[in-house]
Amino acid sequence: MVQLSHQILPHSGKTILFLHGFLGNSQQWNPLVEHFRESHQILLIDLPGHGASPASSSYAIAQIADAIHNILKEQNIDSVRFVGHSMGGYVGCAFAKAYPEKTASLHLINSCASGDSDSRKSQRNRSIQLVSRHPAAFVSMAVTHLFTENERELFENKIKMMKADAQNLAAESIIHAIAAMRDRPSQLESLKVVSFPIHYIYGADDQIVPPDIVEAELHSIKANVTKLASGHMSLITHKLELINKMRLIE
């Protein structure tokens, strides 16, 4: 059973759920949390084996969605505005499919609803092999590739901090996360028929979830769209733009 660490910042307003991406943690949301906590209740969750969440045996993305649903039941939260970055967005899509009545809106930041292509799955498998042999080298390389070359210069200190945090992750937790992303099913069909609003925020220079993937999905899903001049870590590199462009959170 997947166990997730979570933190609630109470408020009488509606609840925003923030879920970070692979190799990250809930603290990455701090700038957005500081902005929205004045008007909303905030629910912060760490992915399995990330942040304060305990390591888990192998799991599926849908199991994380189920664990989140259990948290909502325990906390008597009726519905959430689900904001997911990268892997967090994959979980958001699975949650929205399984629990549409609990989803007030879905915000995919540098993320997508479709599953991995065959070539992407092969790349995930190579990553698993590298983590098994050289976990520290993999983490350093993987974090670096989340940023564009220009961003690597501008956010050098932030990147160093992110690498230091990610180096604390167990190799097994990294492998389980990669496998869960590799094996996730597409949620495109389910998102075509939902009644709640969807908002894509994606980066023009994102090499992890390239813009052509997002733009292809937008042909079949009715959604609000924001395109940033960013790489994959827009919540770090374009935090003010992200706050200003965030829609559907009243």
Share of the chain above pLDDT 90, in %: 96
Mean pLDDT of the chain: 96
**Is residue 249 over pLDDT 80?**
no
Task: Retrieve residue 172's tokens.
Answer: 């097994």
Domains delineated in the chain: 6-116+185-245 (3.40.50.1820)
Question: 245 falls in which pLDDT band (50, 70, 90)?
Answer: confident
Residue 230: which H helix or E strand, with range?
A: none
Burial class (CB in 10 A: 0-12, 13-18, 19+), 63: middle
Mean per-residue pLDDT for 89-112?
98
pLDDT tens digits, 60-72: 999 999 999 999 9
pLDDT of the residue at 200: 97
Phi, psi (5° rounding) for residue 232?
-85, -20
pLDDT of the residue at 219: 93
**Is residue 242 over pLDDT 70?**
yes
Secondary structure of 120-189 in the HEC alphabet?
HHHHHHHHHHHHHHCHHHHHHHHHHCCCCHHHHHHCHHHHHHHHHHHCCCCHHHHHHHHHHHHHCCCCHH
- In the block, residue with structure tokens 């990268």: 86
The helix-helix angle for 135-144 and 156-166 (nearest 10°) equals: 150
Phi, psi (5° rounding) for residue 115?
-85, 180
The helix-helix angle for 87-98 and 171-183 (nearest 10°) equals: 50
**Is residue 246 over pLDDT 90?**
no
First to last CA, the chain: 34
Question: 7 falls in which pLDDT band (50, 70, 90)?
Answer: very high
Q: Sheet of 41-45: strands edge to edge?
A: 6-9, 41-45, 15-19, 80-85, 103-109, 198-203, 224-228
pLDDT of the residue at 247: 73
The helix-helix angle for 171-183 and 118-133 (nearest 10°) equals: 170
Mean per-residue pLDDT for 44-51?
98
Which residue from 59, 57, 60, 64 is spatially nearest to 20, judged by alpha carbons? 64
Task: Retrieve residue 49's tokens.
Answer: 């084996």
Contact status, residue 52 vs residue 82, Cβ threshold 8 Å: no
pLDDT of the residue at 250: 64
Helices (H), 52-114: 61-74, 87-98
pLDDT tens digits, 139-167: 999 999 999 999 999 999 999 999 999 99
Share of the chain above pLDDT 70, in %: 99
CA 236, 239, 241, 244 dihedral sign is: positive
Task: Retrieve residue 123's tokens.
Answer: 């790349």
